């Protein structure tokens, strides 16, 4: 499935759509300013909560829209469209390395790398290096998309981050009950 062909640009009406879902394009720097503002006024915990919720809502909506409007040919196509959407949206280059799932049980495990995370880049530009992973927006998206896909609540975690000085971010998603800590 070529996501580029699924986008509908209607500039004379001020509309960009993916299927039935309206999309928007914003400068990354404006998001960086928002990250800095929320962190300086309300703290990192509040920022993480807001960005996680925004990411989760976006992931859920993308999963629902792609399934409903474009009927992926296989379940593997549907689950890998999540990382592809993240890349097409300019958020991050998502590289899945492991994908295992079984709807009948259900079981779910997906892991990989996030390269060129705009969120980590903005964090570094606005706030400097971090001691912990910062990409709460991406983590929320991964949780939202995968939860809709598998039909059960998942939990996504960022295990390492560009904002910590790593070359790329590393992530993993499992069913919520499969995390032991």
CATH value at residue 125: 3.30.1380.20
Interval 148-164: pLDDT, tens: 999 999 999 999 999 99
Q: Which domain holds residue 136?
A: 43-178
User: Is residue 89 included in any domain, yes or no?
Assistant: yes
Chain-wide mean pLDDT for the chain? Answer: 94
**Residue range 72-92: mean pLDDT, rounded:** 91
User: Is residue 7 included in any domain, yes or no?
Assistant: no
Ranges 65-74, 86-95, 134-143, 144-153: which has the least confidence? 65-74
User: Is residue 17 included in any domain, yes or no?
Assistant: no
Percent of the chain exceeding pLDDT 70 equals 99
C-alpha to C-alpha distance for 118 and 124, rounded to whole angstroms:
10
User: Is residue 49 included in any domain, yes or no?
Assistant: yes
Interval 114-136: pLDDT, tens: 999 999 999 999 999 999 999 99
Closest CA to 90 of 40, 180, 150, 30: 30
What are the two backbone dihedrals, phi and then psi, of residue 171, each rounded to the nearest 5 degrees? -135, 160
**Residue range 129-148: mean pLDDT, rounded:** 98
What b/e sequence results for 143-157 when a residue is b if at least 16 CB atoms lie within 10 Å of its CB, and e otherwise?
A: bbbbbbbbebebbbb
User: Is residue 36 included in any domain, yes or no?
Assistant: no
For residue 55, is pLDDT > 70? Answer: yes
For residue 95, is pLDDT > 80? Answer: yes
**Residue range 53-65: mean pLDDT, rounded:** 96
Count structural domains, the chain.
Answer: 1
User: Is residue 31 included in any domain, yes or no?
Assistant: no
For residue 1, is pLDDT > 80? Answer: no
**pTM for the structure as a whole:** 0.93
Q: Is the dihedral of CA 93, 16, 82, 131 positive or negative?
A: positive
For residue 143, is pLDDT > 70? Answer: yes
């Amino acid at each position: 499935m070529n996501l580029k062909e699924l986008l509908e640009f209607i500039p004379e009406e001020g509309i960009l759509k993916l299927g039935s879902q309206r999309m928007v394009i914003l400068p990354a720097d404006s998001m960086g300013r928002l990250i800095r503002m929320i962190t300086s006024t309300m703290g990192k915990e509040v920022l993480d909560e807001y960005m996680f919720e925004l990411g989760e809502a976006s992931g859920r909506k993308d999963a629902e829209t792609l399934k409903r409007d474009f009927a992926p040919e296989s379940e593997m196509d549907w689950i890998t469209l999540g990382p592809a959407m993240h890349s097409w949206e300019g958020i991050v280059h998502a590289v899945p390395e492991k994908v295992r799932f079984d709807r009948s049980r259900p079981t779910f495990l997906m892991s990989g790398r996030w390269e060129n995370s705009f969120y980590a880049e903005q964090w570094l530009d606005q706030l400097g290096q971090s001691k912990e992973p910062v990409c709460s927006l991406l983590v929320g998206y991964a949780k939202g998309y995968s939860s809709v896909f598998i039909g059960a609540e998942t939990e996504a975690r960022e295990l390492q981050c560009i904002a910590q000085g790593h070359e790329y971010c590393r992530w993993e998603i499992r069913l919520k009950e499969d995390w032991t800590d």
